[in-house]
Amino acid sequence: MDIDYSGIKVIGFDADDTLWVNETYFREAEEKFADLLEHYETKNKVDQELFRMEMKNLELYGYGIKGFVLSMIESALELSNNNINQTTITKILNLGKEMISRPVELLDGVVEVLGKLEKQYRLIVLTKGDLLDQERKLEKSGLSKYFHHVEVLSDKQPENYQNLLDHLEIPVNEFLMIGNSLKSDVLPIVELGAQAIHVPFHTTWAHEEVPVEEQTNNHLTVGKLSDVLKYLN
Amino acid sequence: MDIDYSGIKVIGFDADDTLWVNETYFREAEEKFADLLEHYETKNKVDQELFRMEMKNLELYGYGIKGFVLSMIESALELSNNNINQTTITKILNLGKEMISRPVELLDGVVEVLGKLEKQYRLIVLTKGDLLDQERKLEKSGLSKYFHHVEVLSDKQPENYQNLLDHLEIPVNEFLMIGNSLKSDVLPIVELGAQAIHVPFHTTWAHEEVPVEEQTNNHLTVGKLSDVLKYLN
């Protein structure tokens, strides 16, 4: 495994669950959603059906809170056989509004890491999801000043990354991506021939899980974000 | 009024209702939504309340179909005093899915205009709304090949445009914007000192309307898109 980062000039950071907490809020919303449906199904069944609905709708809705809320409403109607109380629909809408309005909670070490790395590297944010939500979170985070460029992608397939590197004129051998998702932040980057550091978050959305046989050794995994400084300073 | 475009090197095109039909589909969805609520309120009242709800939610949801659907559901609950039938909620969800899945209908003259202008100018798309929806529409439209760059903005305030011109290193005096919305495509551009051509579409969303006293003379208005060729060739 090549962990020689001497040629790296640009570092891309994922945002959700790399710079700030995100997945935890979805898990909390799912808990509340299951509570709202407890008269109809077990928590396990509700979780399973909501995930199935999200996957069914992913191509149409994409990533982000608004699509998640629409899938919760559709699941609630389906799981209750259209018996769900109308006020429960309002509660689901409010769950989404609360998620959108939450303050941004930075992960440990983020400010220290960005403050050190910005002196030697050009830093960019590469996140997927809802454009407005991500812009708002970056603004609330106070982290904008560390980044030369912020790009919200509709997805993180190799071609999304390649288009962006082309647009920003970044050679692949000068690029390093840091993120919590093997599927979105590491594997597509390794496929392009660039480098990636995986910083796992304690919670991973099932959609972002990668079967062991598809994992790769061509990247570094660290236990916490500040560990990257051991390799980049 | 300065309509000397000899210094222009880059032309930005709005997309919705400039390159392809969009507002019409929202109007059709609103018609169907009013039909679903006809037992509770008049069409006029439903339209008015839905618009009020969209404005209330705009800061949270931003532009795009998903936020529109969430606002329709919230309005339906409110206007029916929580008596709306659960199956009607499903019908509202389906209205949104149909909107997202619609084929793209190009406006008259678009292919001719882009085909001619791309020989002399660098063309870019500057649209606001949902990132995934806009990328999908551009792909369905077959127009990607004409554009050097596509940018989906969360809003079209002067600072959104300025950031983008800075990022793409486009001097304001070399930039011309073409679009259907006075509020989003013309006024902020004129404010920056760049040029704009207004191509009105037959339908304008109330949120995009501009009071007469805030309108500006510092732009050209044409009756249809292909008229721009008279000034740019």
- What range defines the domain where residue A68 resides? 23-101
Q: Select from A101, A130, A148 the last residue of a domain.
A: A101
Yes or no, beta carbons of A62 and B132 under 8 Å apart:
yes
* Per-residue pLDDT tens over the stretch A31-78: 999 999 999 999 999 999 999 999 999 999 999 999 999 999 999 999
Task: Give the CATH number for residue B39.
Answer: 1.10.150.240
- A77/B60 CB distance under 8 A: no
- Burial class of residue B177 in the structure, from the number of CB atoms within 10 Å of its CB (0-12 exposed, 13-18 middle, 19+ buried): buried
Domain boundary among A73, A101, A129: A101
- Shared domain for A84 and A138, answered yes or no, is no
Rounded Cα distance, A104 and A90, in Å: 24
Looking at residue A1, its pLDDT comes to 52
Hey, is the C-beta of B81 within 8 angstroms of any chain A C-beta?
A: no
Å between B74 CA and nearest CA of chain A:
7
Q: Is the pLDDT of residue B181 over 80?
A: yes
Give the whole-number percent of chain B exceeding pLDDT 90.
88
Of these ranges, B53-62, B194-203, B216-225, the one predicted with the greatest mean pLDDT is: B53-62
pLDDT at B206: 79
Facing B67 at nearest CB: one of A66, A152, A154: A66
Percent of chain B with pLDDT over 70: 97
Q: Is B87 on the interface with A (CB under 8 A)?
A: yes
- Per-residue pLDDT band at A129 (split at 50, 70, 90): confident
Nearest to A92 by CA among B111, B74, B49, B222: B74
pLDDT value at residue A2: 55
CB–CB of B151/B164 below 8 Å?
yes
Contact B100/A at CB under 8 A: yes
Q: What percent of chain A has pLDDT over 90?
A: 88
Range from A198-202, B176-180, B205-209 carrying the lowest mean pLDDT:
B205-209
Query: Mean pLDDT of all residues in chain B?
Result: 94
Q: For residue A87, which residues of chain B lie inside 8 Å, CB to CB?
A: 82
CB-CB neighbours of A39 under 10 Å: 10
As a whole number of angstroms, the distance between CA B108 and CA B92 comes to 31
Span B124-135, average pLDDT:
93
Contact B74/A at CB under 8 A: yes
Measured from the Cβ of residue B142, the count of other Cβ atoms closer than 10 Å reads 11
Give a yes or no: residue A4 inside a domain.
no
Using CB atoms and an 8 Å cut-off, which of residues 172-211 of chain B contact chain A?
A: none
Residues B50 and B120 in one domain: no
Amino acid B2: pLDDT: 54
> Which pLDDT score is estimated for B210?
78
Are B41 and B114 in a shared domain?
no
Note whether A131 contacts B149, CB cutoff 8 Å.
Answer: no
Both B86 and B125 in one domain: the answer is no
Please tell me the distance in Å from B97's CA to the nearest CA on chain A: 7
Residue of B nearest to A166 (CA): B149
Range with lowest mean pLDDT among A94-98, B2-6, B21-25, B97-101: B2-6
Are B72 and B113 contained in the same domain?
A: no
| Optimal mutation site among A83, A132, A150, A152, interface B, most CBs of chain B within 10 A | A132
* Residues A196 and A177: beta-carbon distance below 8 Å: yes
Judge if A189 and A118 occupy the same domain.
yes
| Chain B CB contacts of A128 below 8 Å | none
Closest residue in chain A to residue B74, using alpha carbons only: A90
Check whether B188 has a pLDDT greater than 60: yes
Number of domains in chain B: 2
Last residue of a domain, which of B77, B101, B125? B101
pLDDT at B198: 95
**How confident is the model over A118-138, as a mean pLDDT?**
95
Residue A193: CATH number of its domain: 3.40.50.1000
pLDDT the model gives residue B1: 52
| Residue B158 and residue B145 share a domain | yes
The pLDDT of residue B47: 96
B87-120 pLDDT, tens per residue?
999 999 999 999 999 999 999 999 999 999 999 9
Tell me the helix, strand and coil percentages in chain B, rounded to 5. Answer: 55, 15, 35
Residues B177 and B225 in one domain: yes
Distance in angstroms (rounded) separating the CA atoms of residues A207 and B29:
32
pLDDT over 70 percentage in chain A: 97
Task: State whether A85 and A142 are in the same domain.
Answer: no
Tokens matching residue A26? 């979805």
Are residue A84 and residue A162 in the same domain, yes or no? no
In the structure, what pLDDT confidence band is assigned to residue A209 with cuts at 50, 70 and 90? confident
